[in-house]
Amino acid sequence: MQDWGKIALAFFLAVCVGYGISWHNNRVDSAYERGFSEAVTESQVAYEADKEQAKKASDKLARDNNQLMKEKDDKIHNIESELSATVDRLRNERKSRSSASEGSNTASSDSPSCTGRELYGEDAEFLVREAARAEKVREERDYYYSLSVKIKNQIEEFYGKD
């Protein structure tokens, strides 16, 4: 009978150990699932926060870009207006010089004379146009440089300066 008692005791202990292991595994599994669920939730919250921050940064960058582009376009429009006014003034001066030189030309000569004033006027017009073109290029360069600085600052602000 003693053997049966030992066997029963061993069986009882095996059942208790099995139940304990099962209980422990269930607790570990539920803790794992709870921890995993919490980690997923935290990750989703962090993702949504980062997504919202990125949207705000993108919107701010778009507003800044629109403002910079408007300023650049206004400056280029002013350059073109000044160019047009200067070219018109040069042409008017050229016309007034040529009419004045025709009126003061008392020599009756059949051969056409060339004083060079038209040549200088054309050169001046060319140089004015080139200067205006250079100003436009400079404004474009400044626009893109300002835009790149703003983008760099936004990226540093978004990711944090290391």
Question: Where exactly are the structural domains of the chain?
Answer: 2-101+115-159
pLDDT tens digits for range 96-117: 766 666 655 544 455 556 555 5
Of residues 83, 55, 85, the one with CA closest to residue 154: 55
What pLDDT shows up at residue 118? 57
What pLDDT shows up at residue 14? 77
Lowest-pLDDT range, 25-39, 101-115, 126-140, 143-157? 101-115
pLDDT tens digits for range 22-49: 766 766 667 677 777 777 788 888 888 8
Tokens of 88: 């018109």
Run of H or E residues at 124? helix 117-159
pLDDT tens digits for range 42-70: 888 888 888 888 888 889 889 999 999 99
Tokens of 156: 């540093």
What angle in degrees, to the nearest 10, is found between the helix axes of 2-104 and 117-159?
170
pTM of the model: 0.58
Q: Cα 15 vs. chain centroid, distance in angstroms? A: 68
